[in-house]
Chains A and B, each alone.
Chain A
Amino acid sequence: MSIPVRFDNVSKSFKTGESATALRDLIPSLVRRLRGADPDARKLFWALRDVSFEVAEGEVLGFVGRNGAGKSTTLKLVAGILRQNKGTVEVNGSLSALIEVGAGFHPDLTGRENIFMNGAVLGLSRRDIRARFDDIVAFAELEEFIDTPVKRYSSGMYMRLGFAVAVHVDPAILLIDEVLAVGDLAFRRKCLERVKLLRAAGKTILFVSHKMNDVRAICDRVMYVKDGLIHREGTALDVTREFEADMKRRSALEITGAPLSQRTDNAAVRVMHVEARDSSGAPVTELHSGQSLIIHAAIESDIELLDPILSVALLRSDNLRACCATTRVLGPRIPRVRGACTFEVEFDDLDLMDDFYAIETIVWNAEMNVPLAQHLNPTIRFIDERPPVNRPGVFHPAARFGAIEHGPDLES
Chain B
Amino acid sequence: MNRTGIAARTYDATLGVMLDLVRKLVDCRELLYSLTIKEIKVRYKQSLLGIAWAVFMPVSMMLIFTFVFRRIAKVELEPLPGTGLPPSYAVFSYVGLLPWNLFSQSLTGAVNTLVTNRGLVAKVYFPREVFPLSKIFASFVDFLVASLVLVALMVWYHVPVQTTILWVPILLGIQLSFMLGCGLMLSMANLFYRDVQYIFQVAIQLWMFATSVAYPLPAEAAGPIAGPILRLNPMTPIIDGYRDAILYGRMPDLAASWGAWIVVGLVLWIGVLAFDRSQYLFAERM
Contacts and interface: CB of A to CB of B under 8 A. Distances in A.
A22 interface: yes
B209 to A, nearest CB: 25
A307 to B, nearest CB: 63
Contacts of A21: 192-194, 285
Contacts of B2: 88, 90-91
Given A81-B125, A85-B5, A103-B124, A76 B193 contact: no
Contacts of B3: 80, 83-84, 88-91
A99 B37 CA distance: 24
A243 to B, nearest CB: 25
A121 B130 CA distance: 11
A68 B177 CA distance: 42
Nearest to B39: A106
Contacts, number: 110
B36 to A, nearest CB: 10
Contacts of B46: 108
Given A21-B192, A81-B283, A97-B124, A103 B38 contact: no
B158 interface: no
Contact of B193 (A26, A79, A99): A26
A122 B124 contact: yes
A310 B46 CA distance: 69
Contact of A83 (B6, B35, B45): B6
A90 B195 CA distance: 37
Interface string B73-115: 0000000000000000000000000000000000000000000
B71 interface: no
A14 B8 CA distance: 19
B119 interface: yes
Contact residues of B: prevailing secondary structure: helix
A83 B280 contact: yes
- Select the residue from B6, B117, B193 with max chain A CB neighbours within 10 A: B193
Contacts of A237: none
A378 interface: no
Interface stretch (A53-61, A109-117, A216-224, A276-284): A109-117
B144 interface: no
Contacts of B283: 76, 81-82
A288 to B, nearest CB: 46
A80 B126 CA distance: 8
Interface string B4-45: 111110000000000000000000001101110110011001
B80 to A, nearest CB: 46
Contacts of B284: 14, 82
A104 B119 CA distance: 7
A237 B281 CA distance: 37
B183 to A, nearest CB: 19
Given A20-B193, A21-B193, A88-B5, A117 B123 contact: no
Contacts of B285: 19, 21
A88 B1 contact: no
B254 interface: no
A120 interface: yes
Contact of A108 (B6, B8, B45): B45
Contacts of B192: 20-21
Interface string A55-81: 000000000000000000000100111
B122 interface: yes
Interface string A302-318: 00000000000000000
Contacts of B280: 80, 82-83
Contact of A99 (B4, B5, B35, B123): B123
A106 to B, nearest CB: 6
Interface string B123-142: 11110000000000000000
A144 B194 CA distance: 42
Interface string B185-201: 00000001111000000
B195 A22 contact: yes
B263 interface: no
A121 B193 contact: no
Given A21-B192, A87-B5, A113 B126 contact: no
A178 B6 CA distance: 29
Contact of A120 (B7, B34, B42): B34
A289 B6 CA distance: 54
B41 A113 contact: yes
Interface string B257-275: 0000000000000000000
A23 B194 CA distance: 8
Given A14-B284, A85-B6, A100 B123 contact: yes
B124 to A, nearest CB: 5
A192 B52 CA distance: 47
A72 B284 CA distance: 13
Contacts of A24: 195
A92 interface: yes
A106 B1 contact: no
Contacts of B31: 120-121, 123
A199 interface: no
B119 A97 contact: no
A367 B125 CA distance: 64
Nearest to B120: A104
B5 A103 contact: no
A20 B194 CA distance: 10
A262 interface: no
Nearest to A77: B3
A126 interface: yes
Interface in A231-253: none
Contacts of A92: 1
Interface in A5-43: 14, 19-24, 26
Nearest to B190: A21
A88 B124 contact: no
B30 A126 contact: yes
7 contacts: A81-B124, A82-B283, A85-B5, A103-B124, A120-B34, A120-B35, A121-B120
Interface of A: 14, 19-24, 26, 76, 79-92, 95, 97, 99-100, 103-104, 106, 108-109, 113, 116-117, 119-126, 149
* Interchain residue pairs A-B with the least CB separation, the first 3: A83-B280, A120-B34, A100-B123
